[in-house]
Structures are given as structure tokens and as C-alpha cells.
Chains A and B, each alone.
Chain A
Amino acid sequence: MQFMLLFSRQGKLRLQKWYVPLSDKEKKKITRELVQTVLARKPKMCSFLEWRDLKIVYKRYASLYFCCAIEDQDNELITLEIIHRYVELLDKYFGSVCELDIIFNFEKAYFILDEFLLGGEAQETSKKNVLKAIEQADLLQEVRHLIKITVDKVF
């Protein structure tokens, strides 16, 4: 996988993950172009399109589009499966996820994605394992919240 983009129906980027080194300018250009192309497609159309020398696989969940770019020999269907897995993971983690969850906790969405995919390849196919890893890492982070709460209480 070359990159993954999440964007809203209004074309606002919600999450981006690049697995190939590109300059910021190039990234912006690609994003703009792809968001336009995907949003222009009608709802009943299939989830694949050919774009430059890549294949784009996208799927819409509620108001969010999940969009992945894969290479020529890659399997479109398994990429759809990856997208679906990721959505399921978000759903489990946030408890019926919505766009706002991802906007306000965007770093969490990244952490989950990083546990699921690494360097563009699926690293863990078991949902349970991914969530376990995230939960334990979160536990380490709880300390920070405790500090903040005590500070708040003092003043």
C-alpha cells in the first residue's frame, strides 16, 4: 500500500498516512486530486479506480471516505478488507465510532492504524491483538491524565 487517506464528504482531510517518501507539495497535490475524483463518483459505482499508475480502493462509511492507493499487482479485495478491518477497530475502540471521534482523537486513530499496518503492510490480522496492544499502551499514558486532574483540583 502506498498511502491511506480519510476524508469527509465535504472534502476535508481527516487522516493521512504515507508509506512512500514524498514531498509535502506532492502529497498535497495528490490529496487534492484524489479527493476530487473520489467525491465525484456516484454512490452506486464500484470501489476501484485506476489513477496514474496506481489503483485506488475506496469505501464510504457514513460521512467518511476511506481511500487507499495500491500498486498494480496488489489485490483490491484484500485492500477493501483492510479498510473494513480498520473501521471495525475504530468502532471497537471508540464504541460505535463517528467522524467527530476521529477529529478529536486523531492521534488515537493514528495509533490504532500504526498497530494494524506497518510500512503499508498488515502487521496484525487479529483484531483482538491490535486492541490489546493499544489498551496497554494507553495504560502507560493514563499517568498524564492523573497529573492533569490533580493540577486542576489544586487550583
Chain B
Amino acid sequence: MALKIVKGSIDRMFDKNLQDLVRGIRNHKEDEAKYISTCIDEIKQELKQDNIAVKANAVCKLTYLQMLGYDVSWAAFNIVEVMSSSKFTYKRIGYLAASQCFHESTDVIMLTTNQIRKDLSSPNQYDTGVALTGLSCFVTPDLARDLANDIMTLMSHTKPYIRKKAVLIMYKVFLKYPESLRPAFPRLKEKLEDPDPGVQSAAVNVICELARRNPKNYLSLAPLFFKLMTSSTNNWVLIKIIKLFGALTPLEPRLGKKLIEPLTNLIHSTSAMSLLYECVNTVIAGQYWFSVGSKELCVQKLRILIEDSDQNLKYLGLLAMSKILKTHPKSVQSHKDLILQCLDDKDESIRLRALDLLYGMVSKKNLMEIVKKLMLHVDKAEGTTYRDELLTKIIDICSQSNYQYITNFEWYISILVELTRLEGTRHGHLIASQMLDVAIRVKAIRVFAVAQMATLLDNAHLLTGNMQRNGICEVLYAAAWICGEFSEHLENPMQTLEAMLRPKVATLPGHIQAVYVQNAAKLFATILKSQEGNTDSTAAQDTSQLMIDRLPLFVQSANLEVQERASCILQLVKYIQKLQQKDVEVAEEVNALFAGELNPVAPKAQKKVPVPEGLDLDAWINEPPSESESEDEQPKAIFAKEEPKHSRPRHTEVDEKELARRREARKQEQANNPFYIKASPSSQKVYQDAPGVEHIPVVQIDLSVPLKVPGLPMSDQYVKLEEERRQKERAEKKKKEKKKRKEKRSGRGKKHDSGPESEEDITPAHQVDIVTEEMPESNCASVRFYLSRPLADSEKLPVRSHRAAEAAKSPAEDGETENATSLEPKKKSSKEKREKKKDKDRDRKVMVKCWIHHWDCAFFVFIFFCLHFLTGNDAYHLLCSCKSDFKGRLNGRWETMSDTVYDIQGNLQDGSQVVVSVIFENKCDSFLKSMEFNVLDSLNSKLQRPEGSGPHDGLTVPFQLPPGVSNEARFVFTVQSIVMPQKLKGTLTFIVKNEDSSTHEKLDFKLHFTCTSYLITTPCYSDAFAKLLESGDLKGSSVRLEGVNMPFHHLLARICFHHHFSIVERIDSCASMYSRSIQGHHVCLLVKTSGQTVSIDAKCDEPTLLGNVLDEIKQTFSQC
């Protein structure tokens, strides 16, 4: 009997293990919830037993149920019980359950601290391992604090298995309990050199993750990682290290140069795509652009990825390309073919990536071609999401930067019209706003646009098939407005008027109906005008009758706006009809209702108009009205707000003369405004008899394709047309050139390059009124405009009246800072400068630090100069330049620059190239963007510009600067002669962007190339040195330095350091020194000292160079 009871309980003990549970759930598919609830009841019973094996089994089942989504938090305490079992079997299950079910708010976690500590120090490494694994999932700040020390001890455990886990879990501990980082860090660092590769890799992992959060702390580890990187063959580790360097380089640009070689090697050699991708990504994100061909290499490799048949690689390749596009659109543009191919990919995510890339790749030349391709895709696209994406991309691409790339607006209008064929798109309003924008701003296109819109209105029934969920009917809003506003261009206004008053219109959304009604009135006015001239007055009366017949439908509209407008207009027309019956001419008066030209105005224009003197906007003009009056006023205001878009100036009473006068004045103003590109009368004419005008398609009714709005031109034809136009233009140009050549037959006629046409050659067929955020008068448009233009009155930078004079003065000032001797007229300016210095802290906004060094030369060659940007001062100018002492002794304003000093290793490759590294530091509170660096080339030194840009074009700085950020860019100069020091003038232009405005600013600066900067420290043996002197090729010169108050070896070190000499031999107070220029000139010095006098005898094969170097040495010592 007793045995039976025991047997029964044991049976139950094991009657349902995990496998049984799983099987049971699978067998109870219909009533799963019910089955599980009985299981949970059983589990609750099992958990009440004392037998740990039963409990563990129950917990194991619970873990499974937890995954299925059932709440098991009630069993948390039982999980802790199982965790603390001494048997590994149960412990393992307990920890697994805890790691799956516990989270920070589980209160029993605090009971586990001692148990975990015990397990961590268990002699069995698997007990420890299981505890560490579990802890990594549910570590809380309390646990981290209490166990940090135990885990740190485990980092030096004898078994690598434990060390590895301990190192990895330290990262979680650092996150939860940051105070542990400092004490644990030295040990973590040790682990980077652990004999076990697994531990080493874990340490790299942890430091990489830490460095991503706060890179600054880990800069000192760079050399160690560099060693690891060049020695490790484990791709997992390499990827982490490269990622780590990616985080470090922005802080330490020198790393970039060191890294580029191993990175390029890896890119070339690795077969692992993941590693290749990591390298390429790091190079893209990093600052290595100007070095070697790394950029090209990356683009090449990406091309290979994109060409790969593996979808994953293709996707990643495109993703990385889009990152390059941001900084170097040119290098991506050359792969246009490939990216267009990707548009045909069967994978939508790849197509979307390719679309993103297209945006940055269009030019005037290829826009039509690309859009044509996209239009094909629109037709083919299945899903509406992708099709809508295509639609927005087409519009984005075309409208970017004020329609910069559109050369033919007829084509664009046709594209927009074609897009209206899309059924069920959400972007009707987008198309509509584009139509409105183009029709308003491109005056020459209005005739064409109006014709197109009239056709659209005529075929409105095709668009509005099932209009309840059809966003496309929004385009009718634009169509109606355009037809009404520019009704004078309509070919058959009567037909359009009828189309606008069809009963079906009443099914359109209210806001569209309102526009219909309003514009029907405009049309009516135009028609009246044309009909009144005729002898037959019945036509005009018929038109009025039509209005009177149709408008009542709208008067009954439920929409208030429609109702109000319709009843207003209806009464007006009735009145007109009365007058017409009395044979009174009314057309002129009716037209006066809608007179006046509509001009685009920038959204912020009003802000820029200065408040006239004596006008106080806050003052009452009349006595403030009484309370009751203002209440009466309120309803009016509400109605006035209703339709701000279409409200016209209500000055219809202004007499004709006044209007004409105003119009004249405006025209005058526009003519004088360089930013207002108007459609000159001639441009309209040009359009009229433009080449190939007969190609404009005649109405063709195509009944077999019902979805196509009949009579609308296919945009493709414009592609052909455009080709023709360009060809013709080119031909004309050639003709002109020929003419010119003929004229210049006398001899020196320049050869014109009639090769492939460049971007600039393509002249747009229509022009857009450019309305940017700013008023035309303020700084906008392009940087080049700005440079050549005197400051306008509207600019708010103070003391601008002195600008011209100051700009002229600034070079002289520079000279003064360098020359120790001060001359009479300069005294004044130095006084001024003292004043400025007072204002310095307030004034300094941007500080640009810059130094020059040779392309990979063996020693650090530098010239520092520093730019201050002073607002509130008369000009922004260069404050000081310094050749030798970068610690700032020369000028008090130099502060601590030494942190930016760094050395470059390598060898001399090109005798004519000098690289200037500039650190741009944004010290103001605004965002700086669109920086352009430009230098006025001299005959001798030229800034290297990318191929295809003109000799005066600036270089775009490939980054933007948020406030307080600094970044380095490098610019390569070619130098012909190095015997003379040289200063180059330059300008940095940039946009300062605040929350509410953005302004163009510029900084003038000077680059000082000293002769010293052309010298490279080159060691020389005494016998070679003696031979050199004996050869007799060298010319001599000497200089004496008085009052030098320093030990001889200091003096020598100074010459070595600042002027790049090496000591050949030193005997007592006499030393011979040697250096070489980048073009191979030998410079030999014999330095002797007696007391405070130093004499330097020098020899060089280039006397001018020698003279300048000696002058520079002299200056170095005169400054100390």
C-alpha cells in the first residue's frame, strides 16, 4: 500500500517533463490556452514540492511557456530556489530561467547576490560560467556594484574559459555601474595582451564598445591596437579594431594617415566581405579623403559589391555609396549606369536604395533620361508604396534647388500630367503644388501649362473615377486655379468654363469646389471681355446665363466656403446680366475684380523689410476701441482668415494710373535686382518660335487606352526635342565660334574646345523666378555672387561702412604682426588692434587653425597661421601668422596651440607639392555649412583643384561644423619655385545657420609659405659634407646673431627643430649643419658661438633660398 503511494507520487513527479509538455501543446492545437492553463496548474503543484528535481523540471517548463508569451513572473522565487541548487543540472536550468524571465524590476534579484557570488568562486568552472552567462542577462546596478570586484578577480582566473566570460561581462557591469570602469580598466587593458586569443578578442570587443560611447578615453591605446591590427589574422577581431579606430580618428586626425596604409592593404587582400565592408565604411566615414587613391579604391570596391549577384552585397554597396555621395558626389556619378541598373532589381529594398542615390546624381544633361527611366518604373510598379516612393522621388529630383536641373519646363509639366494617371496615389497634393509653383514662377510656361490644365479639367472624370479614396483629384485644384488665374492664355475659355461648372464637380471635395467656383468667375470675366467687343451681344448674355444656370448647384453645397463664394458670384452675375440687358458694357469693371499680377514672394520677405523710421508698430493709430467693439470685430477676422492663399489685394479702387505707376516702379526695381530673373519679353518670343515648335503634339484621342488622359503630350517627346534643341544650340555656338575665328584670323585666335558639352553649356529653355528663403537683396544665391558684391544695407553686421577701407588695410596689418620693426603709419592700426583685443572674447566666433606641412615628409614641417573671425569689427581678417614658434610666444592670442601639433612620417615623393592641413573649429553657437575654401593663385603656387573646375573656383570643404566641433581638411598646393617665401591670399566662405535664419559669411586669410617649410631634415655624414663644400658649387653667405642668451646645444636644437637641419658634426662651440630642400638644394651651415654672439656661415647652391632661410633663422632668434 505504502509502496503504491510512493509509486504514484514518483509517477506524477515525472509524468510530464518538457518534452511531454511540448508534445501536449502540439497535440492540443484547438484548445491550446485551456491545455496550457491546466499545465500551469500542474506546475504550481510541482513547485510546492520539496524535491528539487521536480522543481527544476517545473521551472524548465515555465521557461518554455514564457517564450510562448505566458506570464511567469509569479514563479520568480522558485527560479531563485532552483538557481541555488548545488547540482549543476538544476543550477543550469535555474540560471537559464532567470536569464529569460528576470528583468531589472524583478524584486527577487536582490536575493541572488550571495548565491551568485558563491557560484562565481566555485571550483567548478562550469558553475562559474553559468553564473556569468546568467548575470550578463539580468545584471542590475545593485548587482553590478556588489559583484564588480568578484568579476574583476575572475578576469585573471587561470582558465581562459572564465577569463573570456569575465572580460565580456565587465562591459555590462560598466554600463550599470560606471564607477567600476576606472579601477577595472588597467586589468582590462592587460587582457588585450592575454596569451589566449579568445580572451584577447573579448577585451578588444569590450574596449571597442566602450570607445564608441566615449572615444576620448581610449586614444592612448591607439598604438597597442595598431600593433594588434597589423598582427592579427582573426577577422572578428580585425573588424572590431577597425571599428574602434573609426571612433578614434575624428579625435586624432594623425591616426587617419597612419591607418590608411594598413586599411588599403586589407581592402586589397582580404577575401572576407564583412572585413572589406568594414574597412570601406571606415574609410568613407573617416577623414582620409585627400590621401592617396583611397576614395577611388573604395568606390571601385563598392562597384564590385554592387555588381555581385548576392543581394546582400548589392544592398550594402548601395548603402555605402550613398554615404560617399554626401561628400563626393562626383565620384559616385561616374557609376550612374550601375545604379540605374539596380532600379531594375527584383528586390524592392535595393531599388529604394538606388533611388536614394539618384537624387544626388542628376545633372542638366541626364535629368530627362533618368526621369524617363523612373517613369517606366512607375508604370511597372506593383505595390502602391513603391510607386508612391517613385513619384515623390521624381518630384524631389526635378524640383531640387529651385529646379536647377530642368532645362525644359514643358517637359516637366508633361511629366506632372503623366503622373496624374496614377491611380490611388496619396501624393496628389504634391503634384498639384508643383504645377502651381511652376506655373507661377516660370512665366514663359504659362501658355503651355494652361493648355494642359484645360485638358485635365476637361477629362476630370477620368481622374476622379472613384474619388472617395483617390488623392489624385487634388491636381484638379491646381488645374482649376491655373486655368482661372491665367485665363487670358486659354484657347477655348468657353469650353473650360463649361467643364468647370459640370454637375459632377459637386462630388469633389469642398476645398476643390471652392477653387472651381472662384476661378469660374475669373474665367467668366475673361470671356466677357473677349465677347463684348463683338457686335453680337447675345454671346455675352449666353455666358452669363450659363453661370446663372449652373451656380445654384454650388449655392446648395454643404461646404460653407463653396456656398459663400457661389452665392456671392451668383448675385454678381445676375447683376451683370441686368446691365447687359440694358446694353451697358461691364467687362472692364468685372475684370478689375481680378486685376493685378501675382508674384512669388519669399516666406520670410516681410521680416527683411525694415520698419520705416518713426513708425511704431505697437502704438495705437486710433484710440483703442471699447470692449464691445472688439467683440464685434472678431467674427470678421475669422472669415478673413479662411482663404489666405487666394486673397488678392483688395485695392481695386486704386485708379489705373496709380497701378501703372506702381507696376513701372516694380519693373524698375526688378531690373536692378541681380537676383530677380525675369522672363524678359524676348524670352517669350524665343519660346514662340523655338526650334521644333511643331513637335508639340496635337490633340490625339486614344480610346484604346482609357487610363491615359487623351490629348496630353508624352513627356518622352521632350527628351527628343531637348536633344534637338541642344544640338541646335551647339551648332549655333560652333557657328559663332567659326565667326569669331574668322574675325580673329589675324593670328592669335584662341582654340575653342568644342568637345563634349559641359554642364554650363546647357542653357535652360525656360527660366525660374528664384525665390529663396531670403529676400533677394540679402545674401543668397551663390557664394560667388557674394564675393564680388559690396555689402547691402540690409545686412546687420555692424560697422560695415568701413569695410572697404579696412579690407585694404588688413594686409599691412599682417605685415606688422610679423615685422618686429614698427613704422610710423602702423602705430595707428596697432592702437586699433589693442581695442580689438579688448573685444576679442566677445568677438571671436570662428577660429581657424592651419598649418602647412610637406606631403609625407620625414620631419614635421609646419607653418602655423591662425585666423580670427571678428564680428563687430570692421572686417574679418587675419590676425597673425607665425612661422616658427607654435607655442604662442609671438603673439599673446595664440593660446595653446601645441595640442594640434603632430608629426608625419614617410618620404619625399614630389618636389612640387605641399599639403596644407587646416583645422576648422567652430567657436560660435551656430551651425556652419557649405564651407568653400579658395585661394588666389599666384604664378608660383597654385591650389590643386579637381579636374574640370576653373582656376578661381573654391574647394568645398567636405564637412559641416556643428557648434563647438572641429575638423581637419587638407589642400594640396603645387609650388614651382621654392627659393622665395610666399603669401597667398584666400577666402573661406560659409553659411552660418541659426534657428531662424542663415547668412553667408566670409573670412579672409593668408597662407604663409616660408622657405623653411620647403626644407626637410636630411642626415648627412661628415665626409659627404666635406665633399659637398669642396665641390665649389655652393655660394656662401653669412649672418650674425647678437644677444642670444641660450646654451649652444639649445641653439642648435632650435635650428634643427624650427628650420629642419640636422647636425653633421659638433666640436665645442662650433657645429656644422645640413639640410635639403624638397627640390634637392643643399644647405650647409657652420654655426659658431662666442659669448652672446652667434655667427652662421652658410653655403647653398641657391643664393636666394639661402638668404631667405638665413633671414628666417634670424627672425626665430630675434623673437626669443
Contact = CB atoms under 8 A, between A and B. Distances in A.
A46 B347 contact: yes
B89 A140 contact: yes
A114 interface: yes
B312 A46 contact: yes
Interface in A66-113: 73, 75-78, 80-81, 103-104, 106-107, 110-111
A64 B235 CA distance: 27
B965 interface: no
25 contacts: A13-B68, A13-B69, A19-B136, A21-B104, A24-B73, A28-B69, A42-B347, A44-B346, A45-B348, A46-B350, A48-B315, A48-B316, A48-B349, A49-B349, A104-B18, A114-B96, A114-B99, A118-B132, A118-B133, A121-B205, A133-B126, A133-B129, A137-B129, A143-B87, A144-B89
Contacts, number: 149
A124 B198 contact: yes
Interface string B1046-1072: 000000000000000000000000000
B316 A141 contact: no
Nearest to B316: A76
Given A76-B316, A122-B205, A140-B126, 16 more contacts: A21-B104, A24-B71, A44-B346, A47-B312, A75-B239, A76-B277, A77-B316, A78-B236, A106-B63, A118-B136, A118-B168, A123-B202, A143-B89, A144-B89, A151-B14, A155-B7
Nearest to A121: B205
Contacts of B777: none
A76 B239 CA distance: 11
Interface string B346-367: 1111100000000000000000
A15 B44 CA distance: 24
B165 A123 contact: yes
Contacts of B316: 48, 76-77
Given A23-B103, A49-B349, A78-B274, A151 B168 contact: no
B84 interface: no
A151 B93 CA distance: 21
A81 B168 contact: no
Nearest to B165: A118
Interface in B23-80: 53, 60, 63-64, 67-69, 71, 73
Across the A-B interface, give the 4 residue pairs with the lowest CB-CB distance, nearest first.
Answer: A77-B274, A46-B311, A46-B315, A119-B136
A73 B315 contact: no
Given A76-B312, A119-B172, A121-B202, A151 B67 contact: no
A153 interface: no
Nearest to A120: B136
Contacts of A77: 273-274, 277, 312, 316
A53 to B, nearest CB: 15
B701 interface: no
A80 B202 CA distance: 19
A52 interface: no
Interface residues of B, number: 70
A22 interface: yes
B862 to A, nearest CB: 34
A46 B198 contact: no
Contacts of A136: 126
B22 A104 contact: yes
A50 B692 CA distance: 48
A114 B133 contact: yes
Contacts of B290: none
A42 B172 CA distance: 37
Interface string B511-526: 0000000000000000
A94 B206 CA distance: 31
A63 interface: no
Contacts of B161: 133
B991 to A, nearest CB: 28
A123 to B, nearest CB: 5
Contacts of B348: 45
Given A76-B312, A118-B169, A15 B67 contact: yes
B575 interface: no
B314 interface: yes
A111 B92 contact: yes
Contact of A80 (B89, B103, B312): B312
A129 interface: yes
Contacts of B859: none
A14 B25 CA distance: 14
B171 to A, nearest CB: 6
A75 B313 CA distance: 12
A138 B246 CA distance: 41
A16 interface: yes
Nearest to B237: A125
Interface string B234-260: 111001000100100000000000000
B436 interface: no
Contacts of A19: 136-137
Contacts of B165: 118, 123
A24 B10 CA distance: 35
B501 to A, nearest CB: 47
Contacts of B171: 119, 121
Contacts of B312: 46-48, 76-77, 80
Contacts of A143: 87, 89
Given A81-B274, A107-B60, A137 B126 contact: yes
Nearest to B285: A73
A123 B200 CA distance: 10
Interface string B852-872: 000000000000000000000
Given A77-B273, A118-B132, A21 B103 contact: yes
Nearest to B60: A107
A69 B281 CA distance: 19
A46 B349 contact: yes
A1 B380 CA distance: 38
Contacts of A23: 103, 105
A121 B168 contact: yes
Contacts of B129: 133, 137
A19 to B, nearest CB: 8
B281 to A, nearest CB: 8
Given A46-B349, A121-B205, A151-B14, A18 B314 contact: no
A48 B93 CA distance: 34
B231 interface: no
A55 to B, nearest CB: 10
A46 B346 CA distance: 10
Contacts of B278: 75, 78
B420 interface: no
B46 to A, nearest CB: 15
A22 B103 contact: yes
Given A46-B350, A124-B198, A137 B92 contact: yes
Interface string A16-49: 1011011110001000000000000010111111
Contact of B18 (A45, A107, A126): A107
B746 interface: no
Contact of B88 (A73, A126, A140, A151): A140
B274 A75 contact: yes
B201 interface: yes
Contacts of B133: 114-115, 118
Contacts of B350: 46
Given A114-B133, A122-B236, A106 B64 contact: yes
Contacts of A49: 349
A151 B311 CA distance: 56
Contacts of B96: 107, 110-111, 114
B136 A137 contact: no
A106 B25 CA distance: 14
Interface string B1-32: 00000010011001000110010000000000
